Structure 1
Amino acid sequence: MAVDLNHTIVPSSDKHASAEFIAGILGLKVGPQWGPFVPVETANGVTLDYLDSADFRTIHYCFIVSEPEFDEIFARIRERGLDYWADPAHRKAGEINHLYGGRGVYFDDPDGHNMEVITAPYA
């Protein structure tokens, strides 16, 4: 039996704004609201289902992309003047990493969720 991730719920203070933010950075589309959720679908069919929530802990999400997609995403991060880091603890500000022969960057979404974009999977 194959097990695939289908969706995950992303708590947010404003589901529409947060979905638009990540879709804009990653070059994805925001889907139509479905029940209380605003979905953003990735290329492998997994959806980030944004949900308004008054109380939540921040979460880490990682997206693997091609080298050209990384260039586009990183350009959007810089164009928006977002802070970014080479590490998940946010100690290496204004840098990207080159782990496992690829590139990676971390940035926060409007609710403080720690977003990561990489071009090579971690071993």
Structure 2
Amino acid sequence: MSVELNHTIIHARDNRESAEFLAHILGLEVGTESGPFIPVATSNGVALDFAAIPAESIVMQHYAFLVSEEGFDAAFARIRQAGITYYADPHLKQPGEINHHYGGRGLHFMDPAGHGMEIITRPYESHEQTPTTS
């Protein structure tokens, strides 16, 4: 039996702002609004449906995106150009650094709703190498 993630709902204070923010960083398109949702589709077909809810109801979530080396370079350039603080670690203790976990590169940043976003060039299943930061 094949199982694939089709979509997930991401809570936001402003669904358009959050959808456009992530789409811009990742070089993706914002889809057509459908009811309370504004979708951003990933290249593997998973839709991230941004839904506006009251700010006090938002619970921080973590979303990690596997990107190519070229995709990382492009996203990293957009992050720096926008002046977004980025970190090598999910606890936000290493600002201005990227990591080199499992022989790749990765970084963490926050979206407008306070969710932790991560871009990585190697999946965490690549446990052959010890994580490092720079």
Same fold (TM over 0.5): yes
Q: Indicate the percent of aligned positions where both proteins have the same amino acid.
A: 56
SS for the counterpart of 2:25 is helix
CA distance in 2: counterparts of 1:3 and 1:102, whole angstroms:
27
- Structure 1 counterpart of 2:28, one-letter code: L
CA distance in 2: counterparts of 1:84 and 1:112, whole angstroms:
13
CA distance in 2: counterparts of 1:110 and 1:101, whole angstroms:
30
- Please, what is the CA RMSD of the aligned residues? 0.5
Superposition pairs for residues 1-123 of structure 1, below 5 Å?
Answer: 1-54=1-54, 55-123=57-125
Number of residue-to-residue matches in the alignment: 123
**How much has 1:32 moved relative to structure 2?**
0.3
Q: State the TM-score, normalizing by the size of structure 2.
A: 0.91
Bigger radius of gyration: 2
Instruction: Tell me which stretches of 4 or more aligned residues in structure 1 moved more than 3 Å.
Output: none
> What 5-or-longer segments of structure 1 have no aligned partner?
none
- Structure 1 counterpart of 2:114, one-letter code: G
> What 5-or-longer segments of structure 2 have no aligned partner?
126-134
**How much has 1:70 moved relative to structure 2?**
0.3
Q: State the TM-score, normalizing by the size of structure 1.
A: 0.99
CA distance in 1: counterparts of 2:68 and 2:86, whole angstroms:
19
SS for the counterpart of 1:23 is helix
SS for the counterpart of 1:2 is coil
SS for the counterpart of 1:51 is strand
CA distance in 2: counterparts of 1:17 and 1:93, whole angstroms:
24
